[in-house]
Amino acid sequence: MKEDPMTAPRPIILTCGEPAGVGPELAFKALAAGVPFVYLGDPAHLPEGTTWAAVEAPGDAVAEGVLPVLVHPFAAPAVPGQLDPANAAGVIEVIAGAVELVQSGAASAICTLPINKEALKRGAGFAFPGHTEFLAHLAGDLPVAMMLASTTVEPPCRVVPATIHVALDQVPVLLTPAVLEEAIRITDQALRRDFGIAAPRLAVAGLNPHAGENGVMGRQELEWMAPLLERLRAEGFQLSGPLPADTMFHAPARSRYDAAICAYHDQALIPIKTLDFAGGVNVTLGLPFIRTSPDHGTALDIAGKGIADPASTIAALRMAWDMVGRR
């Protein structure tokens, strides 16, 4: 049945992600989010017995309790837990298709189910280490930042790694004043626009143990991080740091800031995934459209067993919908 396009809410596109992972089984469970979304993927990959209906356009209505599916046929069936290179191209096409739908105005946001980066690289020569970088490219090679945000802990834990999917030995090379400044600026703006925080407070982690301890355990903090933060404070940014990363994530420390800008992936993601694995949401900041994702990966070890927890996907859909409302 077609809805009145003037009044129908434009739904979120939930991309299928890796079909051999937990994505397909999370899609139906995610109806519990109570926000409008449509699944983009191959219905043949959904668990047997899933109640779904094909729709032609994102806004087409289906009965309550039925998963609406924008059908994107894949090359091969999916065997839970077993990656198939034949399906890599389909996974990439679905992400690109979702971007087209949101950019055309047919959808309000994108929520991505997890992909297996290695599978995409080996199966389709995917040139990006993750959604974040691919979406930035599709949006016109924009500078973006990756934020992971808790939804069930207080004070909240929000983290932004200034370098993202890079090898640890590259971090000191790639973490430059320009890269850190960009992460600070993008995060400050996104907290205002998408999280309703009028005067964001950012805490910046040092790179070295004890934030270098005045130069005895590394010099980046003294040589350029502190001067950069000083310059940005003079512009009006509310910044603390560079702080020792090991002591900035306990609850009293988190109450002093709205988001932590970290030097590298694990410095940022270990605290949030420890504090709120079930409720964590990954958000790409700086895109012209809204994109969220559960914080976890493809979980091949449990795929197909029906035990995957939908909480993070539900939180991601709700966060995207809140952002739609704010914008």
Ligand X SMILES: NCC(=O)COP(=O)(O)O
Ligand Y SMILES: NC(=O)C1=CN([C@@H]2O[C@H](COP(=O)(O)OP(=O)(O)OC[C@H]3O[C@@H](n4cnc5c(N)ncnc54)[C@H](O)[C@@H]3O)[C@@H](O)[C@H]2O)C=CC1
When CB distances to ligand Y are compared, the closest residue is 297
Residues 187, 196: Cα–Cα separation, whole Å: 12
- Closest distance to ligand X from the beta carbon of 273 (Å): 8
Residue 269 binding partner per list ligand Y, ligand X, none, with a CB distance cut-off of 5 to 8 Å that depends on partner kind: ligand X
| Residue 282 sits in the site that holds ligand X (CB under 6 A) | yes
Residues 26, 296: Cα–Cα separation, whole Å: 12
Strand segments, DSSP code E, in 57-174 are 67-71, 109-112, 145-149, 158-161
Residue 166 binding partner per list ligand Y, ligand X, none, with a CB distance cut-off of 5 to 8 Å that depends on partner kind: none
Q: Which stretch binds ligand X (CB under 6 A): 64-72, 130-138, 187-195, 213-221?
A: 130-138
45 in a known ligand binding site: no
Instruction: Please give the span between the terminal C-alpha atoms of the chain, in angstroms, as a whole number.
Output: 28
Residue type, 18: E
Q: Which stretch binds ligand X (CB under 6 A): 48-56, 77-85, 124-132, 224-232?
A: 124-132
- Edge-first strand listing for the sheet containing 145-149: 52-54, 67-71, 37-41, 12-15, 109-112, 291-294, 281-285, 145-149, 158-161, 259-262, 201-205, 238-243
Residue 143 backbone phi and psi in degrees, to 5: -75, 130
131 in a known ligand binding site: yes
- Closest distance to ligand Y from the beta carbon of 300 (Å): 7
Residue 132 binding partner per list ligand X, ligand Y, none, with a CB distance cut-off of 5 to 8 Å that depends on partner kind: ligand X
Residue that the structure tokens 């469970």 belong to: 29
By CB under 6 A, name the binding residues for ligand X. Answer: 130-132, 269, 282, 293
Q: Residues marked as binding for substrate? A: 131-132, 273, 282, 291
By CB under 6 A, name the binding residues for ligand Y. Answer: 22, 114-118, 131, 282, 293, 296-299, 301-302, 308-309
